[in-house]
Every structure is written in C-alpha cells, then in structure tokens.
Structure 1
C-alpha cells in the first residue's frame, strides 16, 4: 500500500461511512519518520502540536516498536513469546501486555471459528515459514521437500486454540509441551495501533502510521484533506486502482503472493489453515479489509482468506465488514465486494 496517494478521476475512491467530522489540525507542518522493524519497514506522518520536539516523537515510536518485538516476536529468542514457546510443560505467568494480546487473539479465534489461530507456530515452522527457516531443497533442485503426512499430523496435535488453557487468577498460560504460539497474524496491526495510540497521547492526533503495508489514519492533514492511501492489489487483479481516505480508519491486505514457494507447479502460501495443517489452497488471492483498528483489519484479512471464496464473503456480510476479495478461477480473477465496502465506494463516487 502506498501512503498519501492523491486520487485521480479514474481511481476507485473509498470514503469512510462512520459519519465523523475531523477537527482542525493544530499546525501547518507534517513531520515524516521511517525505519525498519519486525522484518519489514515502517513509516509515520504526523501533524505536530506546537512546542513538541521532533526527536521525542522518533524516540516514542521506536520505543513502542522495540517493546512489541520484546513481547511478541517469534524470531527473537529473547522475546517473551519465544521464551514461552521454548518452555517445558507447565503453567507460566506472563506479562500483562502479553496476556491482553493473547486474549484478544483467542477472542478472534472464537469469533472466526479458528480461521485466526494463535497456536499454529509448529505448523508454520514445519512448512518453512517460521524461525527455523525454509525447508531443505529436494534432490531434484525443483523446490523444497514437502512435509510428510505424519509430520503434518504430529504438528496438528500441538495446535488448536481450544487446547490452550489459561489460569486467569495467576495470569498464566499452560505450555502443554511443544506448543508454539504465533501472533504474526495480528502483531503488525497491533503495533500500528500501539504507535497510533502513543502519538495521540503525545498530542499528534492527526497522523498516518504504516508497518509492512498495514495502515491506520487518524484526523486529517493541515489542508483538511484526508490521508489518502492506495490499496494493495494481487498481481493481475481485475480491480481499478483504488485509494481510500484513512480518516479514523485502518486497512490491511492478506495475499497469497506475499510469501510463498512453488513445488512441481503448486504454490504454497504462508497462510496456514489450522483445520488442515496446510497452506491454504482455496483460490483466494487476496483480501483487503477496512476497519476501525489495524489489529482487527489485520486479523480479519487473514481470517477471510482462510475461510475461502464462499464462507469468507458470507462472514464479511454477517459482521458488516468492509472487505474486497480477489478470487482465482478457471476464467481468471474475479472480485467480490462486501456491502460495507460498496457503501464506501458510493461515498467516494
């Protein structure tokens, strides 16, 4: 997704339907920040309140991002999540931020019947998308060796959000032995929200935050125009260039082209279905979701992808999500839009 893209007449334009009106920004300045985190890049644009120091914002953003990594990175062996994943069997007390996000993840798993599942780390590792790294190449040099059926079943015994037990009185999580939590399906969105909340607390109530393509905008720019962003599209998608006004709105896209590998003509995506223990293969090329928070948009983009081309759109309608699906079929790609997404298009028409 590109930040702050000015719309052209041929664009498809999305305008929020929440009905809120922006306040006037406190200054005519825009400060830009950028860096790297969580294996990707981040950026922030903000309208600073009078008297604030630029370095204070830079330090605050970096502090929030470093904190997220220290808690939830499964790539950093020093993180709280990595230490839980390596812990022996037993109940382990966790920090309050860890507890809160894990409970949010489990609530999302309940809501989506496991289409978002924070316990799939062992299966993600098995398929070569986790910290142990890619799977070894096969002897023909045509791609990675695929897991055996018994390996898949063995990791499935170590997964399942319904198998994760919590001791709420002790704020402790049970490690049954070999279970690996993986919060990457919501961690970037959560980080965007945390940075956005930190900026708001510092008086920068008008800003745009982006981490690895997940975005959240609050307020407007000094000229009263919204933060325009271009939505990501699956390669070959039939949709026109689409821009959205992120005024008090977040957006996330899940796509099967982002991280994958190919073996004998079959593509294996990094998005794993907990129901099968395998990368999804349901024809959904991408899902874009717009929502109030980046974490929810992030989680729902993944969940709708896992649900597939029939159940995904049906679920989006049920919970009134603004979602756009790109689906691969025998006749090429087609786009399916939810009612809430179309309502945003109508606002922008």
Structure 2
C-alpha cells in the first residue's frame, strides 16, 4: 500500500465511477484556506480515494497519508485471505478450532457484525462460504477448468455454516464446532473504510469522503456548504453510467451487484456472488442493491446479503427492518428501480 497520491480534488469536474460512483457538482468555488484534497492509493486489490476538507498544508496531508497507509495495512494484515501471514489465514489454517482461539478486537468486531447480518438474512450472508467461493474460482484458489459438479459442491457445503461459529467478547475469541474457512471479502472493505474514518476523526478531520472499491462513507459538507453527492451505477458491465444520485452529509453507502465480477464457461455467465443455500452463483433478476447505514461494514454486509436473497425477499426484509435500500431489477431487457421508504430522503431530484 504505497504510491499515495495527494492533489486538490476538483469536485466540480472529477468523479470516481466504480461499483459506486462519486458524482461531481459543477461550479464550486472554494476559499484558499479551505479545499477538498484527495489522498489515493492501492489497497485490497483495488484502490482507495479519500477526500478531506483541509487548508493547503502539505505536512498535514503527508501525515494523514502515512496514517491512512498504516491503518489499511493493519486491516489487511488481520483480515486478508490472500496473505498467508494474516491473522485470518492463520485462524483458517488451524485444523482444530473447537477450543477458544484468541483474536484481535478488530477481527472480533467484524466477525460479530457478520454473524448478526447472517442471522438477520437467514444465512444469505455467510462468511463461512469461502470454500465454495474458492471452488468456483473467485478466491485465492485457481479458477477451475470446468464448473464444480454436484458432489464437489455438496462436500464443501457440508463444511460451511455460520451457526458453527461461536464468539466471545471478553477477551475476544472464537471457536467452531467444526473447523471453518472464513472469508471476509464481503465485509472487510467496509470495515477498512470505517477504520480510516476513525483515524481521520481522531486526527481532527470533520468533513471527509472515504471510498474503498466502491464502498463509501461521508461526514460533514463540502466547503461551499453542499452535501456529498454519490451516484448509483447502472448495472451494466460494458460501460459506466449513472442510474440515480443521492446526497449524504453522514452515513455510509455500499452496493452489491452481479455485473462486474463474473466469468463465462460454455456459454453461461457465473456471478461471484454465491448463494449459501445452493452453493451456486445467484441467478435471479436482482441486478444490484445499494444500502445506506450508520457504518460501512454494516452497509457492505447487508448489500451482499440482500443481493443473495433477491429482490422480493430482500425488499420485504429491508422494509420491515427500516433499512434504506435501493434495488435495480432486470425486467424485459431493461431495468426497474425500487427503494424502501427509509431510502427516500436520500434521493436527489
């Protein structure tokens, strides 16, 4: 996580389009002592883009950049499945997980949120599905020459199940009735955003936008007093275009969809999102779902769980739980957009 970039973020003309696009407002003018600065760099196999409202102070920017790098390195060293030396990889490598295993506070925080979302979604979100994800070629294992057969899927599914995990808060620890391979790829980016937010707030930064791989969290307002404007992408893989714009001055937003990470085999497209019930990639008509929540870790996990559930089930659950969710559904070659009542106040005209 090196090669940071520092530059004035001319929000009037620049935008970042990823799973979530950052939309610019035209015609902004800032006082000299108050600008939006961007700090950017590689992380988690993607990139981070952080906008902070600061005076033109090169030393402050450099210190912030170094601190952000350290924070993200700590998250990666704890929660990556791509690093053999990470805390999570060491946990996954234990053949016997039946006794309490001490874990760090951050890892416990993520695991606890993951289990809560698993329970809420009836297992649609499940961090133990990693072995099946790997079997389909969307994890550290090599992509298979052929799609998995029923026997292979059954064997790996039998080893999964978030219900097998048990967590202890004090001191933080985990154990499993049957040893598990845990994959935090659907929640760790969100946690990384929240970790950076905590660092910025402790450093006295009050107005910011933090984005990692499309998961984003904001606070405060831009120098002209306007809210941060974020765009939900149209769920098409061939191009980048906007479906809807939202305005936030706090909270987090995350999107999950089946239109970016996939591969094709023998004329069929296989999404990276795996249904824990079947062990197979999702095949329903929900193209993407965006969730707004108090923190990015929760928004990230909920968006993935809702994406697995499909529109009808997810919309009913989100409405019942007063969760702000926005759904884009495939209909007759086009798209329909729907949102829960809790999402309405965030939409721009």
* Bin of the TM-score, shorter chain as denominator length: 0.7 to 0.9
2:36 corresponding residue in structure 1:
30
The alpha carbon displacement at 1:182 in A equals 0.7
Question: 4+ runs of 1 displaced by more than 6 Å?
Answer: 49-52
Unaligned ranges ≥5, structure 1? 9-24, 138-144
The alpha carbon displacement at 1:105 in A equals 1.1
Separation in 2, partners of 1:158, 1:272: 15
Separation in 1, partners of 2:94, 2:331: 44
The alpha carbon displacement at 1:328 in A equals 2.1
The alpha carbon displacement at 1:3 in A equals 2.4
2:95 corresponding residue in structure 1:
88
Q: Could you say what secondary structure the match of 2:338 adopts? A: strand
**1:1-349 matches, cutoff 5 A:** 1-6=20-25, 28-48=34-54, 53-90=60-97, 91=99, 92-135=101-144, 137=145, 145-166=146-167, 171-175=172-176, 179-235=180-236, 241-330=243-332, 332-345=334-347, 348-349=348-349
Separation in 2, partners of 1:152, 1:35: 37
Separation in 2, partners of 1:202, 1:296: 24
Instruction: Render the CA deviation track for 1:255-275: whole Å, top value 9, x for unaligned.
Output: 101211122332211111111
Instruction: Render the CA deviation track for 1:162-193: whole Å, top value 9, x for unaligned.
Output: 11134556633225565210111111111111
Separation in 2, partners of 1:99, 1:327: 35
Q: Is the 8 A contact 1:26 1:48 kept in 2?
A: no
Q: Is the 8 A contact 1:88 1:175 kept in 2?
A: no
The alpha carbon displacement at 1:77 in A equals 0.8
The alpha carbon displacement at 1:38 in A equals 0.3
Instruction: Render the CA deviation track for 1:199-230: whole Å, top value 9, x for unaligned.
Output: 01101110001100111111011111222222
Separation in 2, partners of 1:243, 1:252: 14
Instruction: Render the CA deviation track for 1:262-289: whole Å, top value 9, x for unaligned.
Output: 2233221111111111111112111111
Instruction: Render the CA deviation track for 1:140-178: whole Å, top value 9, x for unaligned.
Output: xxxxx0111111111111111111134556633225565
Q: Is the 8 A contact 1:88 1:177 kept in 2?
A: no
**Normalising by the residue count of structure 1, what TM-score does the alignment of the two structures yield?**
0.85
The alpha carbon displacement at 1:50 in A equals 9.1
Instruction: Render the CA deviation track for 1:97-125: whole Å, top value 9, x for unaligned.
Output: 21222111111111221121111111111
The alpha carbon displacement at 1:133 in A equals 2.6
The alpha carbon displacement at 1:4 in A equals 4.5
Separation in 2, partners of 1:240, 1:34: 23
Instruction: Render the CA deviation track for 1:265-314: whole Å, top value 9, x for unaligned.
Output: 32211111111111111121111112221112111111111111210111
The alpha carbon displacement at 1:329 in A equals 3.6
- Give the direction of change, closer, same or farther, for the CA distance of 1:343–1:227 in structure 2 (3 Å limit): closer
The alpha carbon displacement at 1:95 in A equals 1.7
Separation in 2, partners of 1:167, 1:201: 28
Separation in 2, partners of 1:109, 1:27: 46
